[in-house]
Each structure stands twice: as structure tokens, then as C-alpha cells.
Chain A
Amino acid sequence: MNTVGHLNPPPADPMEDYTMTNILVCDDDKEIVDAIEIYLNQEGYQVFKAYDGEQAIKVLKEQNIHLLVIDIMMPKLDGIHATLKIREYSSIPIIFLSAKSEDTDKILGLNIGADDYVTKPFNPLELVARVKSNLRRYTQLGNLNVENNALFTAGGLCINDDTKEVTVDGESVKLTPIEYNILLLLVKNQGKVFSIDQIYENIWNEEAIGADNTVAVHIRHIREKIEINPKEPRYLKVVWGVGYKIEKQP
């Protein structure tokens, strides 16, 4: 809910310039497909609809689809098998949209070739944000040939230390200096978990005596700014009881 204001109005999409982006939405529940269509249409995407796996594969073959949102539990051919088939010839971003919210389901989905996993019931705006994010990744893949020492990236998160600019999926994010420093520290050491004390000592350059929740509050603020859904962060993860880290992105 907090993200609503943040993602609105949609920033100018670089891909809109050359061509219409086609998104295939596949779910056996027609109303959900329709709802998603409405949201995506609002963002200017062309939406194709399918109601089972076989239809989806068929549409994919007939149309030039740039992104697939697919449900897992469907008649005829379920989302998992459909994805496996699609991955045999296509590398388009695939977002699973499932009522299955178990960790195992998510891991399975991501492992067999999905790029993202959204659980039902979903926040429409989050879905839209994830669609955009994945499309950017897909279309910009291979375009980052400029090697810059001051440029730190973690997936869609990009920090330019020269300009002190932070972008998430190409969108600029405004951070306070402390938040920026914390994020920079974490991004520079991707995968490493920093405890509150360590972060405090690094940023404030003084010994952490009885560190309080200052750092935690800052982290929450950063998360709220860079994450689509702060409760399920993609970049800045909380390791509860240990510290914080930026997940190493593939």
C-alpha cells in the first residue's frame, strides 16, 4: 500500500519507444486474467490471454510475447510443465502467479526457469511493478557494457558512487546520506551479513556501545524506498537476529 504513491505515476519506459510490449497472462480464473489485463493495459502493455498451459504455449508460438504471467494450477497443462516446455525454446521473463505460497513452491518455480514468483492474492500494483522490473531486465540484458569502478549493481539495483545516484530497475530512488552509505556498504559486500553494530561502526565511524534501533529504522526506510514489497524484499534482506545483507543477484 505504501508503494502505491511511490510507483505512481509510471516513469517513462524506454521500451515503449520502439514497439508495443506483449504480455501473455495465463490463468484458469477468467476474472483474474481480466483484472490483470486492466492493470497492464493501464500501463500501456498489450495483453494476450490464455486459460490453460496449452493455450499459453500456442499463443506464445503465434505471437511475439515479451513476458509471461502464468498460474501454476491449471487444467490440461499446469504452469510448471508449461514453463519447462517454454524454456526449451524461449528465454522470455516468466512470472508465476500462484495461490501456492509455500517456500518449496516458490523455490521449485524459480528453479525450473521462472524469473519471479507472486502469490495470490496479490497486490495489483506489485504485480505491475514486477512485470516492469522483469521486462527491463530482459530488454536491458547485455546492454551494460560500460565498466565503471564507481558503479555497483545488484540485480536491478544500481548505485553510482560518483553521482551518488541510486536506481532500482532504472528508476531513481532518493535516499538520505546515511541510508545511501548503509546501502552502499551492503551492495559493495553483496551476500555478506552485517550486524547492526557492524553497520553502525562502519557508517558512524564510532564504537557501537549498546547500539539501539537506529540502524534498524534506517534499514526499514531504505527497504521501503527500494523494494517493491518491503515485506518480501528482493534486495535488502533481513536476516533476523543476525543482521542485514544485499542478496547476491544472479
Chain B
Amino acid sequence: MDNQKMQGNLSGNIQEGVQDGMEEKEGMGARESIGTPEIDGWENAENGRTADGGMQDKDRNADSGKEGHPAKDKKSTKSGREGRKKKKRRLVFLHSLQHLLLLAAVILLVTVFLSSYVIVETKNGPRFFSLLEQQQPRYFEDSNVFNTLLGNSASDIICYGAIRSQMETDAVFDARKEVDVTAFAGRYNGVPKEYITANYYLDDLIKWAQGGFQYENRYMNGEEVDGFLSRSRTVTRINPDEYNGTISYLNSDLKSITTVEDVSGNLLEAGMVERDGTDATILANRYHTVDGKNIENFVSSWDEYYALCENVRKAAEDLNINYEEYLKYRELYDPANSNVLYMIKRTIGDDTQIFTNASAKTSDPSALEKEIRKQCGKYIYYDPYNMKYETDTLIEEATLRYIVNGYDYAYPEDTQILIGVRSEYGARDCFYQARDGFHNYVPRVWQYVAGAAACILLYLVLLVVLTMKEGMVRKKETGEIVIRLYPEDRIPTEIMVLAAGIAVFGIYFVLSKVINTIWHTDDISSMRVAMTVTAAMATLVVSLFFSFFYYSFVRRIKGGTLWRDSLVRRTGSLIRNGVIYFCDHTALVLRIWVPAALLALVNLGIGLFAGYKLCERSMGACLVSCLILIGIDGAVGFILYRSALARQMILEGIKLIREGNLAHQVNEDGMHGDDLVLARAVNSIGDSVRTAVETSMKDERLKADLITNVSHDIKTPLTSIINYVDLIKRENIQEPKIREYVEVLDVKSQRLKQLTDDLVEASKISSGNIVLQWEKINLVELLHQTIGEFSEKFEERSLYLVFKAPKSSVYIEADSRRIWRVIENLFNNIFKYALAGTRVYVDLELSKISGAQEPGQKNGPGEVILSVKNISAQPLKINPEELTERFIRGDESRTTEGSGLGLSIAKNLTEAQNGKFEIVMDGDLFKVNLTFKLTEK
């Protein structure tokens, strides 16, 4: 249930996980980066299980050494770490199991494969036979192997029978057996009714063939020829009347029906004709015939001589070969060595011969036949004479007939062949071996195959499961599933594919070599072991390689890096970026690179030309081309220099404009292309900025001018008012009412005057339309002067002023009249609004902590804070910020003297002089702090 939940979680998070993995990966390089190794799905189960403590330190160390733990791991708790180790171990175990399963499957299959072949000893050496058949027989005797072997044996035996008939008399090797050479040599094709032949003993012929035939070339004159060759020929005649059947050679057959006589078939016998001398090739008569004669004694002409010599030689050589076969077959089909029993009975005329390897207790054919049939489970009985064919094997009559027909010179029609295989397989022959192999293989083959199939199935299941889990780790902190990539997963995909291909080919190559070597080993049993071991090792290697590549690809696909890390994509994106860059900067690229390439080509060309001319020793041409080269390069250099110069001018222009010299214009003369465009752009930007600044300044000036002009226009009538009020006052008016009115007019007109002045001042300050005269001001001096100015005024209102300064001179940088204006306004403010009879505190404080916020001023000489404190006569019901706004006054009735601009002007002026103006109000305490930077001495 937990697993299911996890899976759901997993699929839900996989997208994020992948992204996370990728992000992390980009941040850092290695596997450590990608979270804590966790295996999803098992976590809960693992934690639920008791920590059995079986996790040994050694294992852990081995694990950590192998896997390379992230530093994060160390922070996690011990139990968590053990759980994770366990999971990791489990993963390793599963992977190992996977390898082992494949290994087992392959070993089983190899065993099955190897068992499916039997190696049997035949007369031609060891041979392989496959036991695999479409319809797997249950019994060995029904298998192809058995029948093939039996067929081979039948062929052997029929051949052996033919040879035996040539070599033996009464089933025993007869060295003194007479051989009719001409009949023997022509046994395949038959012999004419009358032929010249010689009879030799069998052993003489075999020895002659083993020793070799020596010929002698010599010239013989007529007499010598006559002396050498016989005058008559000895002819053997077959009496056909006594022979029924086809005219075929059966040497033993011939004797009874042939007659031998000397025939004088020519005139030589009469000695009438002399023979011609001739070059003759004479066969050395190593052996003599049965009668003690030589070849030349049977013939009367050279043709007959040579024919007979050839027949002798052929018969001797054939017999020699057959003799060796005979020895081999006799050994092979000895009943002690072979499970095959046979009996061949042939009747030539009245003579019946029996060839058999069954124990010859009896010579009675029927008894022998019975004995053989008793011993043998499987047999073939062939009786062409009676048209009988019996067998319980798969060998067909046609097969046997075909074999027998190959030796028809040896087998007359009246022939019976019985071949059987002994049921008990007493001899260790090929049948025994084949049967052994068959019995080893057939009953178990399905078990093996089923086992292998189960292993493979399990392997595939594990593959699917591990594929699903591969690379996924659960982050400790967030619990989300992320994909963890290993270092090998960063190798470009194609290289991985290539490596996999190389691995495949390498393994294939080595394996084929090894198998080839093993295959040709003589020792069959060690070959099987070697094959199995090789297959196991190869499987292990293949499995490891496969896991390595396969899981890497799985992780890539999950992490989405299969395509992203591929060389094709990288190259593609590189090319794409290049193309995009080229398209975006076509003009630039063309403009820079084409001329550069041209220049290089021109240089190369002219340089080569000059070098060539130098080689040709034509100094003039070389010099001229060098000069041309210098000229061209110089021109290019000049163009580059001019371009650089233009760029420099533009840069300087930009710098000037940035520094505030807005009227600066880059000189566009002599500029071309981009430089000209750039210069024009810079100029136009400069113009725009200047226009904007000028407009804005003009607006400000207009505003200030407007206020100034308005105030002028106010002042003129105001002058008249003030003057005439004054004149009225001088008229010595007795009426008190009038005097009172005039007084009001006087005060108000004076106030109007003050107001207009302040208005102009304030507007000028706030529009920045003032020019400051910077000088070094002693703040203490200034305060003394101010206090002096105000002493009587303060006395008027019984304000007692307390001034405290740290030392007699505190210098700041300010405009003398403006700073006075600030202080004056502050003091006026106190004079107007302070509660009568209170003390006014004026304090100067030095502070080393200068404006640390402003860089570059860090090591300045510090600051001075001037604070002016007084007790307000009226309750302060207003914000400090509002107080410095224009026309704001503490008393809302606005009846007191003042324009309401005093603090605003003071504040603006202070700030214009790089000071800070701050109003603090605490109950009735009204405090103004001015902060200025101290000047350096």
C-alpha cells in the first residue's frame, strides 16, 4: 500500500524532480550535487523494519567509498543513514541478482546446447552429431543419431564384406590367395570373354604395391624383343554357358568357369617374321606369378604387355588400399569393439560364403542369423535375391540397395545381409557414446530449458523493476523524488553508444577467438568445461556491460539528458548558434572577414609572387611586388587607424556628454560607415539630452522669473501703499480710530513686503536658481554674531539664550550670507514662537561619524551638529515635515508675524549647502538639528 502511494507520489513529482535534478546539476558538477541518495518506495518499508544492526561498519565504509557520499549525508541521523545504506545494499543486491540470473540462464542454455551434440569416434575420427530433432524421440534407437550411425555402419560393413571377399578364404586372411589381376583391375566394368591375365599371390601384389613399381626404358632390337616377349599369348576364357547371370567379375566365381590356354594367334610362332626393334618400357618383375612366370611370358605383343603391366599395377595398388581398409574395418568391427553384428551371405554359383563378426560357434547361416537377431534389438535384413528387406530402424531399403550396388562386383544377386546392433551396448563404440549422450540430454533438456526460461523471466522482471527505480532518489529534506545522474551519464550519448558498440564487438571478437580455440581442442571433455566456463565469463562480462550502458541510458531518458547531452544536439546547437550569429551579424561578418580574408589572400599571393621572382633572380619584379605589398598593407593600416581614431573620438564624445558637457558634438568629418552612424547617433542623443535639459531648465527659470516678475508687479503698488501710509501717519492725526487703522495698514503693508521678498527667495532656492559662494565659515563665530544680532530682540521677549560650543572654531564649507539666512530664520522663528521667559539652547556637537552612507566620504573629518531648542508658546499640533512646507505655520490662525516661508527657506538653503535639516518635536520642545560636514583644515 505504501508502495502504491509512493508510486503515485513519484509519478506526480517526476516532472519537478527532473527539473530539480537538472537545475542542481547545472549548479554543480558531480553526483554529490543531486540530492541525498534515496530509493523511493522502500523507505517506509525500511523504516518500519527493525534496524537489525547487521549493517557492519566495514560494509558502510565500503559503500561510502564506492558511492561517494554527499556531505549532506553526514548531517542526517544515524538511523536514517543506516536505512539508506540498507536501501543501497538492497539495490546492489538486486543488481547482483540480476547478473547471477543471467549467468545461470546462460550456463543452463550452454549446457543444453553442448549436450545436444554428441561426439562419437568413427573410423574417420571424432564426429559431431546433433541430438536435436524436430520430433524429439524418446528412445535412442529412434533418434537420427542412431540411424545415421547404423547407416554408416551398414555402409562400412558392406564395404568391409567386399574387401573381405578379396582378402580372405573361409573367413581368414589368406596371403596366398591367387588374384587374377586383369579381372580384378576390371572388376567394375567387367571383363571380355577372352582376356590375357596373370595370377599372382595376394601378399606378393600388396607388397609389390607397397614397395613400388620400377620401370626400365631401353631399346630392344628385333631379336631381343623376340627373346623377351612370348611367341604365344596365354588366354583365359570365360565359359558363358556355365555362368548364369550377368557377366560380372567375381574372382572366386570365375575359376570354375574359365579355361586357360596358349593361343598362337599370330605368325610369330612360326618364326617367319622378324620383330622390329623398339624403345620399350619394361616392368621389373619383383614377384612372379603363381606359376613362377613373368608378365612377358603371357603376352605376344607390346600392346598386350603394357596392358597386362598396367593391370598388374592397378590390381596391386587397389589391393594395397583395400588391405589397409581391411585392417581398419577388422579392428573396428571386432565384436569386442563394436556393438554392431553383421552377417553377409553370398552365393556364387554353388559356392556360398559367409562374412560375419558374430562369434563363429557355428557356420550355419540360419543359426548365425538367429543368434544375431537374438542379440540385437535393432537390425536390418536385406535379401535382394528374394526381394526381402526387413528392418525396425529408419533406414530404408533404397539406401541399403544403393550401398550394395556400389559394390556389385562383390555381391552377386544371391546375397543376404543382416546387420544388427546389440541391445546391451557392451562395446564402447560410437553407438555407446551416442546413446550415453542421448540419455544425458534427452530426459533433462526440458528441465534445463525451463530453468533457463525461468531465470530469464526473473531477469526481465528485475530489469523492469530496476528500470523503473533506476536513478530515482528521494530528497531527504523535501521528500520529493528527483533523478540522480552518475558521472558516466554526462558522457555524450553518442560516445556511450559507440563505447557500447565497441564493447559488443570486443566481446564478440574475443569470444569467437576463444570458442574457436576451444572448438579445436582434441580433449572433448575439457572442451565442454572450457566452453561452459567461457560462456559463464562472457555472460558475466556482457551482463555487467549491459547493466552499465542500459541503466545509464535509462537514467538519461528519465533525466531528459539523452537528447540534451548528445553530441548531435550539442553540435546542432553549436551550428545553429553559429548560423544565428552569422545571420544576425551577416553584415558585420562579411565586412570584417571578407576584407580580412582578401587582404590575407592578397598578401599571400603577392608574397608568393615575390618569393617566386626572388627564386627566379629577377630582383626588379620582386622589389616592385614588395613595394606594392607594403603599399596595400599600409593603406589597410591607414584605414584601420582612421577607423580606430573615429572610434576614439566617439568614445571621448560620449565621455564628455556623460560628464555633462551636453553641447559637445562629435566631429563627423572623415567618418564612414558604422563610425558615421555612431557619431551621428551620439550627437543626436547629446542634442536630445541637451534639449531636454535646456527645456527643463528653461521651465524652471520661467517659473522663477514668473514669481520674480509677479513680485515686482506687486512691489510697485506696495511701495505706494507703504509710502502713503507713512505720509498719513505724518499728518498728525488726532482721531485715535484713524491712527489705529493706519497702524494696521502700516503693519500689514510691511508684512506684504516681507512676504513678497520671501516668496521670491523661496522660489529661487527651491528651483535651484541660486549661485552659492562657497567659503570657509566658522560656525561658532557665526553663532556669536547671530546671538549678538538677536540679543535685544530676545531680551524683549525675556528669552534667555544658552550657547554651548566644544571649541572656539568649527569650520564648515558654506555660503556666508545663506548660512546666516538659515540661522537668522531659525532665530526669528524662536523669537516669534518661543514661550516668553524660557531658555533657548543652542548646541554645537562634533561627530566623528561622518556620512558613512556616502562612499568616498568615509574618512572625512566628521560632522558638526547644530541643534537649536526652545519651548513653543503654542501647542505643536503639526507634523515636523509639514512645518518645512511653504506657507505652513505652527499657529493655524496665521495672525502672528511671518510669511510661513522661514523654515522652508532654511531647510532648502541648508540642503543646498550640503547640510541636513531636521525638526524634532517632543511635547512643547521644538528642536531643529542642522548637520554639516566639517571641512578639512
A residues with a Cβ closer than 8 A to B are: 29, 31-32, 35-36, 38-39, 73, 99-102, 120-124, 195-197, 208, 210-220, 238-244
Contact = CB atoms under 8 A, between A and B. Distances in A.
29 contacts: A29-B716, A29-B719, A31-B723, A35-B720, A73-B712, A99-B715, A101-B715, A101-B757, A101-B760, A196-B785, A197-B808, A213-B785, A213-B787, A214-B788, A215-B788, A216-B786, A216-B791, A219-B785, A219-B788, A220-B789, A239-B816, A241-B777, A241-B778, A241-B781, A241-B785, A241-B819, A242-B781, A242-B816, A244-B785
Interface in B362-382: none
Nearest to A120: B719
Contacts of A212: 784, 787, 803
A192 to B, nearest CB: 15
Contacts of A38: 727
Contact of B719 (A122, A196, A217): A122
Contact of A215 (B712, B720, B784, B816): B784
Nearest to A216: B788
B727 A240 contact: no
B726 interface: yes
Given A32-B723, A99-B711, 13 more contacts: A35-B727, A38-B727, A73-B712, A121-B715, A195-B781, A196-B784, A208-B808, A211-B808, A213-B788, A213-B803, A216-B788, A216-B789, A242-B776
B233 to A, nearest CB: 169
B784 to A, nearest CB: 5
B711, B723, B782, B789 pick with most chain A CB within 10 angstroms: B723
Interface of B: 708, 711-713, 715-724, 726-727, 749, 753, 757, 760, 775-779, 781-782, 784-789, 791-792, 803, 805, 808, 814, 816-817, 819-820
A212 B803 CA distance: 9
B825 to A, nearest CB: 13
B820 A241 contact: yes
A184 B481 CA distance: 97
B783 to A, nearest CB: 8
B23 to A, nearest CB: 63
Contacts of A243: 781
Given A195-B778, A240-B785, A241-B777, A120 B715 contact: yes
Given A124-B723, A241-B820, A196 B781 contact: yes
A32 B785 contact: no
A123 B713 CA distance: 18
B733 to A, nearest CB: 16
Given A195-B778, A197-B808, A241-B782, A32 B720 contact: yes
A240 B715 contact: no
A240 B816 CA distance: 5
A218 B787 CA distance: 12
Given A240-B816, A240-B819, A241-B779, A217 B723 contact: no
A144 B719 CA distance: 37
A239 B785 CA distance: 9
A240 B820 contact: yes
Contacts of B760: 101
A35 B785 contact: no
Contacts of A31: 720, 723-724
Contacts of A29: 716-717, 719-720
Nearest to A195: B781
B716 A32 contact: yes
Closest 5 CB pairs of A and B: A216-B788, A241-B777, A240-B820, A241-B782, A35-B723
B784 A121 contact: no
Contacts of B803: 212-213
Nearest to A197: B808
A134 B713 CA distance: 28
A113 to B, nearest CB: 22
A99 B778 contact: no
B791 A120 contact: no
A120 B788 contact: no
Contacts of B785: 196, 213, 216, 219, 238, 240-241, 244
B520 to A, nearest CB: 117
B808 A121 contact: no
Given A120-B715, A121-B715, A242 B723 contact: no
A36 B716 CA distance: 13
A90 to B, nearest CB: 26
Given A120-B719, A124-B726, A211-B808, A217 B779 contact: no
Nearest to A73: B712
Given A241-B779, A243-B781, A32 B719 contact: yes
Contacts of B717: 29
Contacts of B719: 29, 32, 99, 120-122
Nearest to A231: B789
Contacts of B726: 124
A116 B817 CA distance: 21
A240 B723 contact: no
Nearest to A100: B712
Contacts of A32: 716, 719-720, 723
Contacts of A219: 785, 788
A81 B749 CA distance: 31
A36 B726 CA distance: 11
B742 to A, nearest CB: 15
A73 B708 CA distance: 14
Contacts of B791: 213, 216-217, 220
A242 B777 contact: yes
A241 B781 CA distance: 5
A123 B819 CA distance: 26
Contacts of A102: 708
Nearest to B782: A241
A177 to B, nearest CB: 18
B905 to A, nearest CB: 15
A130 to B, nearest CB: 15
